[in-house]
Chain A
Amino acid sequence: MLRVDREAPGDMVAIEARGLVKRFGDIEAVAGVDFDVREGEVFGFLGPNGAGKTTTINMLTGLARPDAGTIRFLGREYTSDVKKAQHLMGVVPDESNLWPELSGFDNLCFCGALYGMRGHERAARARELLDTFGLADAAHRKFAGYSRGMKRKLTIAAGLIHRPQILFLDEPTTGIDVASARQIRQLLSGLNKAGTTVFLTTHYIEEAERLCDRIAFIVGGKLAQVDTLAHLIRDVQGQRVIELALSRALEGLGPQVLMEFMGPLREAFPGVEFESAGGAALRAHTRETLALAPVVRFFEDRGVDVTEAKAIRPSLEDVFVRVTGIAAEQMRREKERGPKGGGS
């Protein structure tokens, strides 16, 4: 398939979701979600665990049937039969789910065959992808013997074997080493530059910030906000964010200790939003100037020293926290604790 390098996402809509609803018994996992993903863009789909991200991907890819709403790909409606659009899409699920008994090369060839690729074509493509993902040396080793990062890379390669126009990526870098995650991000970036539309869910806010053209936040099955990265960050740019490092006595005790301070802090400093920043650190968000001395005194009165205070540039994480009400660090930890923890 010939691809043309592009400068920016086009005007054509690659994925159009309107009023998507999915219920599991009495629970409405996705409650009327609307969004467009433009052709050639990287669209981030962010939200806390159980927000409805995976359920939305399952509906879009044909692994779940929507209870209401419409799904269109590249201008054609496929709501009642997403299977007919499956040749357009590559799917990388949140778990590396290839066949453990097959080698890396055989896994890719088998996935190519599932899309109707002929023998020589899929073998050539498999070799190309193994080279691209740095797995050529492990091509004939069983998938079961791969490291977690290698498994993840091969799973992404399997999603690309048939050169899909739309790539769904569910948590592509969760739980893998830094070097592999960086390599995957570079590959995704290159793929998108070559014209592939990418629908990405991730728990790493900085990853979304680095890769995505536009971002949607989903909370409790409802879309809270959809916008470009620049617009989202502009909304919080008027804010001041101060990060406070607290005395060592608090380190290692976890966020629950900090939580005990939240109520009294909000009472003492109305108009200032406080949140845990991981470890023994706290972030204060305010639109006014924050006088540090009263804050330091507040903690000293409770036997805690403020060892450092620094101003933080507002980021997508601040937008995420504002929209979802959940600390991004807490969400990432929950996801990493269990591989299936975040499916929703």
Chain B
Amino acid sequence: MRAWIAFWSILRKDMRTYYLKPPNLSWGIIFPLAWTLMFFIKSGSGFGEARSILPGVMALSILFGTTSMLAVTVTFERKGRSFERLLLAPIPLWVLMLAKTSGAVVFGIVNAFVPVIMASFIVDLGGMIWWQMGAAVALIAVSSTFLGLFIAVSVSEVFEAQTFSNFFRFPMVFLCGLFYPVTKLPVFLRPLSYLLPLTYGADALHGAVNGTTQRPVTLNLAILAGFCVLLFLISLRNIQRRWIV
């Protein structure tokens, strides 16, 4: 019970202090809008294409939202030493880190549905598989957040967190089949794609929105869940080794 009081308080505090701040809320609107406009301008197509690019824009909104926020907020608290207070609290480390990451997961999920709401005004969203979209969004948000945690544990400065995040994020934009199918990538790049969690998340989202997938949905979701567990365990081990020296 004691651990869950702490869990809830950390989540609430982070939502209030970081995620619900006006600059972050505006990020959630401007970011997907900018990506959508960029694709329309590049392809020269009309609004009718909105549905085909929706999975990619949703995945990008989650990826950039979660990794940026988590890596920066954790590094910020480490730098100001307030994170020490969390480490001194009598709650298991895994509960503490779940609490610290939950805010980013919620932020990612909310970010994902901003482009859906925007798209609903310009195209017909009928025929979408909503449960599949919900599951894919949740798992992409969790895996991206844990990727952010992995980054946060590896750096000590806020600017390093941003730079190191980009090292992972920008290749994922092109390699994970968000806007360009993995099967059309050069053969030598494909193995890299299959090592990235977003490849499976993007495929699941394409299935939910457009009805076409490279792999069975359950396999995509299971692999994503596997990435979530793996990234979380690696991050916990790194925290034990680096922060509790």
**Given A65-B244, A97-B80; A86-B90 close (CB under 8 Å):** yes
Q: Is the CB–CB distance between A115 and B2 below 8 Å?
A: yes
A64 CA to B81 CA, complexed, in Å: 15
Q: Assess whether B87 is interfacial by the CB under 8 Å rule.
A: yes
* Segment with Cβ contacts to A, from B3-11, B38-46, B143-151: B3-11
CA gap between A84 and B2 in the complex, in Å: 13
Looking at the complex, which one of B9, B17, B80, B244 makes contact with A113 (CB distance below 8 Å)?
Answer: B9
- B2 close to A63 (CB less than 8 A): no
Binds B, one of A11-19, A87-95, A203-211, A256-264: A87-95
- Tell me whether B92 is interfacial, beta carbon within 8 Å: yes
Contact check, B17 vs A86: say whether CB atoms are below 8 A apart: no
Q: B34 interface residue, CB < 8 Å from A?
A: no
Instruction: Collect the chain A residues with CB atoms within 8 Å of residue B9's CB.
Output: 110, 113-114
Q: How far is the CB of A337 from chain B (nearest CB, A)?
A: 19
One of A24, A87, A101 near B90 (C-beta < 8 A):
A87
Known: A100-B80, A101-B17, A116-B3. A84 touches B245 (CB 8 A): no
Q: Which residues of A contact B80 (CB under 8 A)?
A: 97, 100
A97 and B6 CA atoms in complex are apart in Å by: 18
Contact of B82 with A by CB under 8 A: yes
Q: In the complex the two chains form, what is the Cα distance from A97 to B162 in whole Å?
A: 24
Q: Which of B64-118 contact A (CB under 8 A)?
A: 77, 80-82, 84-93
List of B residues within 8 angstroms of A62 by Cβ: 87-88, 244
Number of interface residues of B (CB under 8 A): 26
B3 A93 Cβ-Cβ under 8 A = no
Asked whether B90 lies within 8 Å of A83 as measured between CB atoms, the reply is yes
Which residue of chain B has its CB nearest to the CB of A111?
A: B85
Interface of A is mostly: loop
* B13 interface residue (CB < 8 Å to A): yes
Q: Which residues of A contact B93 (CB under 8 A)?
A: 83
Q: Which of B1-49 contact A (CB under 8 A)?
A: 1-3, 5-6, 8-10, 13, 17
B244 touches A84 (CB 8 A): no
Would you call A99 and B88 a contact (CB within 8 A)? no
Task: Write out the residue numbers on chain A whose beta carbons fall within 8 Å of the beta carbon of B77.
Answer: 99
The 8 A CB mask of A100-134 against B (1 = contact, 0 = none) is 11100000001101111110000000000000000
CB distance A99 to B90 under 8 Å?
A: no
- Whether A64 and B88, one on each chain, are in contact in the complex, defined by CB atoms closer than 8 angstroms, is no
Inter-chain contact B92/A114, CB cutoff 8 Å = no
**A111: chain B residues within 8 A (beta carbon):** 85
Of A95, A114, A118, the residue contacting B86 (CB under 8 A) is A114
Nearest A residue to B96 via CB reads: A114
Name the one of B2, B81, B245 contacting A97, with C-beta atoms under 8 angstroms: B81
CB A175 to nearest CB in B, in angstroms, measures 15
Q: Are A97 and B90 in contact (CB under 8 A)?
A: no
A223 interface residue per 8 A CB criterion: no
State A62–B82 Cα separation when bound (angstroms): 15
- Which residues from chain A contact B90 at a C-beta distance below 8 Å? 83-84, 86-87, 115-116
Residues A32-48 near B (CB distance < 8 A): none
Which of B8, B80, B85 has its CB near the most chain A CB atoms (within 10 A)?
B85
The residues of A that contact B245 with a CB separation of less than 8 Å are 24, 64-65
Determine the residue in chain B with the shortest Cβ distance to A89.
B88
User: Which chain B residues border A242 with CB–CB below 8 Å?
Assistant: none
Q: What is the minimal beta-carbon distance from B142 to any residue of chain A, in angstroms?
A: 24
A125-163 interface (Cβ within 8 A of B): 158
Q: Are B84 and A114 in contact (CB under 8 A)?
A: no
Minimum CB–CB distance from B33 to chain A (whole Å) comes to 28
Question: How far does the alpha carbon of A65 sit from the alpha carbon of B244 in the complex, in Å?
Answer: 7
Interface assignment of A21: CB less than 8 Å from any CB of chain B: no
Instruction: Tell me if A97 and B82 are in contact (CB < 8 A).
Output: yes
A63 and B89: CB pair below 8 A? no
> Inside 8 A of A115's CB, which chain B residues have their CB?
2, 6, 89-90
A101 → B minimal CB distance (Å): 5
Contact A63 B85 (CB under 8 A): no
Say which residue of A65, A86, A100 sits within 8 Å of B88 (CB atoms). A86
**Which residues of B have CB within 8 Å of A84?**
90
A87 to B88 Cα, complex, angstroms: 9
Q: Is A61 an interface residue (CB 8 A)?
A: yes
> Of A24, A61, A101, A116, which is in contact with the most chain B CB atoms at under 10 Å from its CB?
A116
A114 x B1 contact (CB < 8 A): no
Please give 19 more A-B residue pairs, beta carbons under 8 A apart, in addition to A110-B9, A116-B90: A24-B245, A61-B88, A63-B244, A83-B92, A86-B89, A93-B81, A95-B81, A97-B80, A97-B82, A102-B13, A113-B6, A113-B8, A114-B6, A114-B9, A114-B85, A114-B86, A114-B91, A116-B1, A116-B5
Interface pairs A-B: 9 shortest CB-CB: A116-B2, A113-B9, A114-B89, A97-B81, A86-B90, A87-B90, A101-B17, A116-B5, A114-B6
Q: List 17 A-B contacts (CB under 8 A).
A: A63-B244, A65-B245, A83-B90, A83-B93, A87-B90, A93-B84, A95-B81, A97-B85, A98-B85, A99-B13, A102-B17, A113-B5, A114-B89, A115-B6, A116-B3, A116-B90, A117-B5
